[in-house]
Structure 1
Amino acid sequence: MATGRVTTPQPCEAAFFDLDNTLVRGASLFYFARGLHARGFFSRRELRRFARRALHYAVRGEVHGHLLEARDLALAFVAGHTTEEIRAIGEEVYEEHMGAKVRPAARALADRHLREGAPVWLVTAAPVELADVVARRLGLTGALGTVAESVDGTYTGRLVTEPLHGPAKAEAVRGLAVAAGWDLARCAAYSDSANDLPLLSLVGRPVAVNPDAALRRHARRHGWEVREFRRWRHAARWTVRAGAAGAVGAAALGLAGLVRRAA
């Protein structure tokens, strides 16, 4: 179902897609955490710690602290492991959890851009290793994601740059556009979250896909196109503060559910 101002997608120079709840139902970090937990990367106690701290920040709406805490814990889990190992797990996580969660309608939009000759990039705060897998499996042009530092093929537990979230995501897309020579006024972007307003405001064709309440209000005020692919609309209360917690908050709540099931 589509709502709001809907037009037939016009050819554009490039298109940028968010991952969580845009191309894929749910939070990719949750799926990745399930894969790591199943392979013994961290204990049930550590999983509880991750979920408890992430939820602490999500409930209070302290987005910056929440992101830093979730980031540091996630980095600690992969420190000392090889990039080859984590990429292999990313492939398995896609097979086990994510492939069946791809939204057909969102994929159809991406495929249409590709058929019209426009590059399609996945842009997400998820680890770039997982983002690369999803982009390749869906036949997209490429992926931008959060990059963890590695030395001689082994993760150090630090990031190369800040998480690809909010303004950082928009800046990464701007840099990609400059390098490729694209006019962002002739590009499209798709996201479900108000956290991606910097990205959506950057392009000439912003599209709100399954938007949270804050993004839906913004889209209506500015006459942006809204695409609703969920079978039913539901309030974003389960993310506590939909416009603030975003994808990482959703992942934290998903992890809490995993802890309850594992207990």
Structure 2
Amino acid sequence: MAQPNELLAQWSVSHGNLRRFFEDLALPPIGEEHQRAAGEAAAAAAIQETFGLDLEEFTLGVDSVGGAFETAGRPELTPRDPDVPQDVGAAAFFDVDNTLIQGSSLILLAEELAKRRYISLRELLPALTKQIRYRVSGKESADDIASGREQALSLVKGKSVAELQELCKDIVDRQMLDKAYQATIELASMHIAAGQQVWLVSATPVQIGQALAERLGFTGALGTVAEEEDGVFTGRLVGDILHGPGKQHAVAALAAIQQLDLEKCTAYSDSINDLPMLEMVGAPVAINPDRALRKHAKERGWPVRDYRSMRRMVRSYLLPAAALAGAALSIRHRRR
């Protein structure tokens, strides 16, 4: 019997095809029914031992990664520099919204799609309302996630795939790169210079993540994948929506396919919702964290980086100035 890492590495050979993996690769032929049952058992045991996931969760991740690769047309968007010694098995995973760029990539995309009449404002409003509510409260319900997913898929059903890809590239160039945190880009560049892979992992449509990754010279991007057929969207989802546990499933599948050692990997995010992804790597980092993630990171001793200019200005200048003013007023009151 193959070791768990060897068994899971065969996913790259099977291209995420579960039937072929179970029936052709997991074990030597021993009869179709017995082979399938034994293959499923072997794969499930390896997945549980390696990632702590069940087979269904891992399968969703494999579908998400396979869909991302198909959308990109290749597994890696940016070729590795042959002059840089590769740190085999090491990678960095970056969330997008408020980690790499300021604000919501989905809202930027939706606004632009409405302006260009790819979708109508009436169609857009329900999804925007949910996004705004989440950004204000910092909380998102499972019902909101599910209904938002169905709304988004219905919006693009029957629309041109090529047109959306071009729109995403244009939006990234004209709007998102200007909103990127330069310090986060520098962190990613340090990983690349160290011979490590850099992947964006976001709930945003995969076309946005891939356009960002390509422009910034990152290895690739995983995102929410809408199914394509004959050049248009079908209205169905491929794999998981990459939110919360969905990111964990996709990163686990990517780690199996790329033979990554998650203990050598780093993950960056601003949101407590990404805790499943952060906790599966050896080096989790909170960037511009929400209140819940900041508290959790401090309790765990994780690094916390805050690149939000207004908050940094308040902490660096306004709070010390207020403290000095308060001290001066107190001294003056005592003298009276």
Larger radius of gyration: 2
State yes or no: 1:43 paired with 2:120.
yes
Instruction: For residues 85-118 of structure 1, give each alpha carbon's deviation from its aligned partner in whole angstroms, at most 9, with x where no partner exists.
Output: 1100101111221010111000000001001100
Residue 102 of structure 2: aligned partner? 25
Distance change (3 Å), C-alpha of 1:62 and 1:134? closer
The sequence identity of aligned pairs, in percent, is: 45
Match of 1:179 among 257, 271, 287: 257
Cα deviation for residue 13 of structure 1 reads 1.2
Instruction: For residues 208-247 of structure 1, give each alpha carbon's deviation from its aligned partner in whole angstroms, at most 9, with x where no partner exists.
Output: 000000000000000001011111339xxxxxxxxxxxxx
Q: Is the 8 A contact 1:25 1:103 kept in 2?
A: yes
State yes or no: 1:201 paired with 2:279.
yes
Paired AA for residue 206 in structure 2 = V
| Farther off after superposition, 121-130 or 70-79 | 70-79
- 2-side partners of 1:233 and 1:79: how far apart? 41
Residue 120 of structure 1: aligned partner? 198
Q: Is the 8 A contact 1:11 1:113 kept in 2?
A: no
Aligned-residue CA RMSD (Å): 2.2
Paired AA for residue 276 in structure 2 = P
Distance change (3 Å), C-alpha of 1:12 and 1:188? farther
Match of 1:68 among 137, 143, 146: 146
**Normalization by structure 2: what TM-score?**
0.63
| Farther off after superposition, 53-62 or 141-150 | 53-62
Instruction: For residues 179-211 of structure 1, give each alpha carbon's deviation from its aligned partner in whole angstroms, at most 9, with x where no partner exists.
Output: 222211111000000001000000110000000
**Normalization by structure 1: what TM-score?**
0.80
What number of residue pairs does the alignment pair up? 225
Task: For structure 1, list consecutive stretches of 5 or more residues without a partner in the other structure.
Answer: 1-9, 235-263
State yes or no: 1:226 paired with 2:226.
no
Residue 148 of structure 1: aligned partner? 226
Instruction: For residues 7-32 of structure 1, give each alpha carbon's deviation from its aligned partner in whole angstroms, at most 9, with x where no partner exists.
Output: xxx99811110000001111110111
Cα deviation for residue 39 of structure 1 reads 0.9
Distance change (3 Å), C-alpha of 1:60 and 1:207? closer
Residue 242 of structure 1: aligned partner? none
Cα deviation for residue 120 of structure 1 reads 0.5
- 1-side partners of 2:138 and 2:109: how far apart? 25
Higher relative contact order (CA 8 A, sep 6+): 1
More helix by share: 2
Instruction: For residues 131-169 of structure 1, give each alpha carbon's deviation from its aligned partner in whole angstroms, at most 9, with x where no partner exists.
Output: 110000010001111110111121011111220111110
Paired AA for residue 151 in structure 2 = L
Task: For structure 2, list consecutive stretches of 5 or more residues without a partner in the other structure.
Answer: 1-86, 313-336
